[in-house]
Amino acid sequence: MFDVFFTHVNEKVSLTIAEQEQLKTFFLPKKLRKKQYLLQEDDVCRYMAFVEKGLLRSYNVDDRGNEHMLQFAWEGWWIADTYSFLSEEPAAYNIDAIEDAELLLLSLPQFEEMTLQIPKMERYFRILFQNNIIAKERRLISSITYSAEEKYLRLSASNPELVQRIPQHLIASYLGITPETLSRIRKNLLHRQ
Amino acid sequence: MFDVFFTHVNEKVSLTIAEQEQLKTFFLPKKLRKKQYLLQEDDVCRYMAFVEKGLLRSYNVDDRGNEHMLQFAWEGWWIADTYSFLSEEPAAYNIDAIEDAELLLLSLPQFEEMTLQIPKMERYFRILFQNNIIAKERRLISSITYSAEEKYLRLSASNPELVQRIPQHLIASYLGITPETLSRIRKNLLHRQ
DNA sequence: CGCGGGTTTGATGATGCTCAAGCCCGGTGG
DNA sequence: CCACCGGGCTTGAGCATCATCAAACCCGCG
């Protein structure tokens, strides 16, 4: 249940066996079926979720009912509405499962307790936050700089697993284009080779 | 020289007089003339800069030579290439002054020393990073969700000072549209009232 | 006074959206 | 085991939005 998590943490900070045992106590394991919600807009996001297995997404819904993908998370990723989690204000995003999933949930009190008791985890989360900022900056630049086709190509290049694993209409939404446009772009790319 | 800075920090964590005096020792004051660089692409970003006075921007330049605005920073804001600063890798962005500016520079060793010696500052920066993530998420969602006009209206509503103070072609770049398009949008909006 | 950067305006064209229909395929119930 | 449903992907036609290119204008500054 904790395999992926420990592997992931040990890539950033190395844990002793004792620390690993202690770490386990902070989490609440949870399974989620495909299409099930982890979080709905306007609820407070009570947990950060680490994905041990499966695939989740976070997204918001605009006035016209269109969904806009914010993030995908599979094995080895965290997902939450960061703002809602830390501020305990209502969430702006929805989170649900694209594939059946096994999660490790971490509540805010447990999060704070964990970073106090195990300083390595403070460092781990700081690194995580930094990487998060950097990733969002890149995506932002990409979204204001490139055409639909270029955005798709860059995403494929930088994140082949995502393009393999995620349904096409969700990738379209992630890129800020319609499913039709993405379909045509892919047809075009195949054609040109 | 430190007026804006202390006001800003005290809004998030309250400092004693002694702490304020201690804080001053970590910074390197610097003045920057309009159009002068604080950081150029491919150099390592050695400082985070707090803006006491004036106006800066960070941006990158694509293959075709077009600039894309990442951030504006005036009195009370920090600016840096976060990734480059923390990793000491070459920067992906340029930073320069739009208006003459007075800055407080903080190097990485000083940053680390400061957060160690004054735990309140650790908290201050964590809050800063969180807010940064949240702001970037919002801008991202906005950029993949709304039309050019809607993006401009939302920016005006959420950030009237920005629209007042920043040259129009830079706002266009920030929104990911051309200056011509922004000019026409504004004309249209005036017309409609 | 003249230069130059920024803004405006116009004409044209490309890009991507919308709406509508058909297709493909995996899952479900008879 | 087959028929049928439904969701996702594809395709097409027409249209809106926005970019591009070019020219004119405006204004502050040297």
B53 & B107 share domain = yes
How far is B176 from B188, CA to CA, in rounded Å? 19
Work out the mean pLDDT of chain B and round it to a whole number.
93
Count: domains in chain B: 2
A110 & A65 share domain = yes
Choose the final residue of a domain: A112, A127, A144.
A144
Size of interface A-B (CB pairs under 8 A): 75
Is the Cβ atom of B44 within 7 Å of strand D at any atom? no
How far is B145 from B151, CA to CA, in rounded Å? 9
Q: Which of B126, B133, B176 sits opposite A143 (nearest CB)?
A: B176
Choose the final residue of a domain: A109, A128, A144.
A144
Are B70 and A140 within 8 A, CB to CB?
yes
B157 & B73 share domain = no
A32 & A123 share domain = yes
Question: Is there a domain that residue B139 lies in?
Answer: no
Looking at the predicted structure, is the pLDDT value of residue A58 above 70? yes
Distance measured from the CA of protein residue B165 to the C1' of nucleotide C15, in angstroms: 32
Residue A141 Cα, gap to closest chain B Cα (Å): 7
A121 & A26 share domain = yes
Are B134 and A83 within 8 A, CB to CB?
yes
Give the tens place of pLDDT for each residue, B92-115. 999 999 999 999 999 999 999 998
Which of A48, A136, A139 should one mutate to test binding to chain B, selecting the residue with the greatest count of B CBs within 10 A? A136
Q: Which residues pair with B167 in a beta bridge?
A: none
Work out the mean pLDDT of chain A and round it to a whole number.
93
Looking at the predicted structure, is the pLDDT value of residue A191 above 90? no
Residue A62 is given by DSSP the state -
Choose the final residue of a domain: B132, B156, B179.
B132
B128 & B171 share domain = no
Taking contacts as CB-CB distances below 8 angstroms, the residues of chain B near A146 are 62
- Single pTM value for the model: 0.91
A49 & A120 share domain = yes
Q: What is the pLDDT along chain B (193 residues), one digit of tens a residue?
A: 899 999 999 998 899 999 999 999 999 999 999 999 999 999 999 999 999 999 999 999 988 888 999 999 999 999 999 999 999 999 999 999 999 999 999 999 999 999 889 988 988 988 898 889 989 999 999 999 999 999 999 999 999 999 999 999 999 999 999 999 999 999 999 887 6
Residue A159 Cα, gap to closest chain B Cα (Å): 18
A77 & A168 share domain = no
B108 & B189 share domain = no
Looking at the predicted structure, is the pLDDT value of residue A187 above 80? yes
- In 3D space, the residue among B180, B179, B174, B177 whose CA is nearest the CA of residue B68 turns out to be B174
How far is A170 from A40, CA to CA, in rounded Å? 18
How far is B7 from B50, CA to CA, in rounded Å? 12
Q: Are A99 and A55 within 8 A, CB to CB?
A: yes
- Which of helix, strand or coil describes residue A173? helix
CATH code assigned at B66? 2.60.120.10
DSSP conformation letters of B12-75: HSPPPHHHHHHHHTT-EEEEE-TT-EEE-TTSB--EEEEEEEEEEEEEEE-TTS-EEEEEEEET
Q: Which of B70, B130, B134 sits opposite A137 (nearest CB)?
A: B70
A51 & A125 share domain = yes
Residue A103 Cα, gap to closest chain B Cα (Å): 23
Can you give the residue range of the structural domain that contains A18? 3-144
How far is B69 from B101, CA to CA, in rounded Å? 18
A129 & A80 share domain = yes
